[in-house]
A and B are shown apart, each in its own frame.
Chain A
Amino acid sequence: MSLKLEQLSYSYGDHKVYEIQALKDISLEIRSGEFVGVIGQTGSGKSTLMQMMNALEKPGEGKVFFHGQDVWAADFDRKGLRSKVGLVFQYPEHQLFESDVLSDVCFGPKNLGLSPQEAKKRAKEALALVGVEEACYKMSPFELSGGQRRRVAIAGVLAMEPEFLILDEPTAGLDPKGRDEILGQIALLHRQKGMGVILVSHSMEDVARYVERILVMDQGRLVYDGVPREIFARCEQLAQMGLAAPNVTYILHGLKEKGLQVDTDPVTVEEARDAILRALGREP
């Protein structure tokens, strides 16, 4: 039960003047129920990689397997795949088009061929999952705040009940409160429903806090694949790629340089606090 990419390469632009190689020889496997973070600079190929996972883009070379089946085989049901691997684009609120919130969330389930009642039921469940209140169901999406609109858009994908949820920068442009709420709800979904989540993010703090595994992209290549503390231990290499480790990592490294015997592995604020207390000989 997994999503597997094998030696994937992709370039766009039909003529060599415009051709840009977006992905170079990428192989990876994401198992059901994993919480994976993807980091990399703008233009490193993250978004393209995400579109490969639900067959929105066809790879130039290489293969994509979903539960062991080649998604580009002639008889493969790609529409079905897109409901199993839900992709939430950057600024997903820009894709809302219906006159009220509930109908918009119903769009996905209806496209799957569900009856209007069933679609509505799923839409309501999805809206509840992302924390949109019932009072908003009949409102126009444009009457909502930015954060709420984004939740509605995420619900639009969740209503298809995907096995994997891919989120491309779901917190871009949100305030810290909106960011924590959305990420918290996604983490909850992951825990309660066992949904596989792939989170593309610029924020190292977010990635460090929620994910179990990190993929680092640089210039179309997958350069690192490992658990957060392994990845963030390489803060110098990350810096060369224009990336950074979470702020606490730098603080801990700084403390160690000044002579405090502190463990530099922690990647979240809470872990770092405990490590510093331990180094000072106090109970966390």
Chain B
Amino acid sequence: MIRDITIGQYYPSESALHRLDPRVKIIGTLVYVISLFLFRNPAGLLVATLFLGFCIGLSKVPLSFIFKGVRAILVFLLITVVFNLFLVPGEPVLRIWKLTISREGIHTAVFTAIRLIYLIFGSSLMTLTTTPNHLTDGLERLLEPLRIIHVPAHEVAMMMSIALRFIPILLEETDKIMKAQTARGADFESGGLIRKVKGLVPLLVPLFISAFRRASDLALAMEARCYRGGKGRTKMNPLRYTAGDRIAYGVILLYLILLTVALRFT
């Protein structure tokens, strides 16, 4: 049950998208996410959809994996749609009791929903095709210029990669402790809210202790290997752009140009 969470999950495969430099994917995702909020017309939507479809096709990741990400924000999505539907003022279309749905409301709701879904699709596509290590490598390189203004690029990236690395470990640990307590007769499913919350104590206390223990072990292990932060540290496999990455930047640029053209059709 716990293994179902897909946010940040990597899908191993050999596709053009998997081979891209992580920097291209981070910048591409960022550009795409921002671009989603630039259009309000069907032509723009068409361009954004085609680009996303093209990337998904290229990634060889099964659609079911990409759709899974949306499940996590389903409630949020529904609330957003409902609020937009009823609260955007404009030409009334339907009136239910004191609530009115306007034409503008429908338009905004549909576009917001699509934007949110595409946003999740786009960012899941990035994490599904990039290993967490690559992702943080890319981020570190991208943040490097900011060192001049004292942004600790390496430390931020290191913290991120450790945090990402700990997610599966803690999930596994949760699973294990849950089983161990179930073996001692604990019940995590039945009972009312108060009983359920109380029932979490035998799970959360060992989990917190274990998280602290692991963190302290890791810190010790890093120190034992003379880790002293990013200063003067080199990489075994530094990131280098290849011809494919340049083409990818070209494709992103092409997408932006097409989107600008599409914005003129209203």
- Chain A interface (Cβ < 8 Å from any Cβ of B): 12-15, 17, 51, 54, 56, 79, 82-83, 86-87, 89, 92, 94-97, 107-108, 110-112, 156-157, 160
Contacts and interface: CB of A to CB of B under 8 A. Distances in A.
B224 interface: no
Contacts of B12: 17
Given A96-B206, A97-B202, A97-B205, A112 B177 contact: no
Nearest to B13: A17
A50 to B, nearest CB: 10
A12 B183 CA distance: 20
B210 interface: yes
A95 B185 CA distance: 13
B186 interface: yes
A34 B98 CA distance: 73
B101 to A, nearest CB: 39
Contacts of A54: 183
B201 interface: yes
B187 A107 contact: no
Contacts of B182: 56, 82
B180 interface: yes
Given A17-B12, A94-B177, A94-B210, A79 B183 contact: no
Given A17-B12, A107-B202, A89 B185 contact: no
Interface string B1-15: 001100000011000
Given A89-B176, A94-B177, A108 B184 contact: yes
A156 B206 CA distance: 15
Contacts of A79: 185, 187
Interface of B: 3-4, 11-12, 62, 65, 176-177, 179-187, 201-202, 205-206, 209-210
25 contacts: A17-B11, A17-B12, A54-B183, A56-B183, A79-B185, A79-B187, A86-B183, A87-B180, A87-B183, A89-B176, A89-B179, A89-B183, A95-B180, A95-B181, A95-B184, A95-B206, A97-B201, A97-B202, A107-B181, A107-B184, A107-B185, A110-B185, A111-B184, A112-B185, A156-B184
Nearest to A109: B185
Nearest to B186: A111
A15 B68 CA distance: 13
Contacts of B181: 95, 107
A211 to B, nearest CB: 22
A141 to B, nearest CB: 10
B179 A14 contact: no
B201 A157 contact: no
A83 B4 CA distance: 29
Nearest to A93: B206
A107 B65 CA distance: 40
Most-contacted residue by chain B among A12, A82, A112 (CB, 10 A): A82
Given A17-B12, A107-B184, A111-B184, A94 B206 contact: yes
A156 B187 CA distance: 16
Nearest to B173: A94
A94 B180 CA distance: 9
A-B residue pairs, 3 tightest by C-beta? A111-B185, A97-B205, A108-B184
B187 to A, nearest CB: 7
A38 to B, nearest CB: 17
A13 B4 CA distance: 9
A82 B185 contact: yes
A264 B176 CA distance: 41
A81 to B, nearest CB: 10
A21 to B, nearest CB: 16
A108 B201 contact: no
Nearest to B210: A94
Given A56-B182, A94-B209, A97-B202, 8 more contacts: A15-B65, A17-B12, A82-B183, A87-B180, A95-B202, A97-B206, A111-B184, A111-B185
A89 B180 contact: yes
A7 B162 CA distance: 41
B3 A14 contact: yes
Contacts of B176: 89
Contacts of B187: 79, 111
A185 to B, nearest CB: 19
A138 to B, nearest CB: 18
A156 B176 CA distance: 16
A92 B181 CA distance: 10
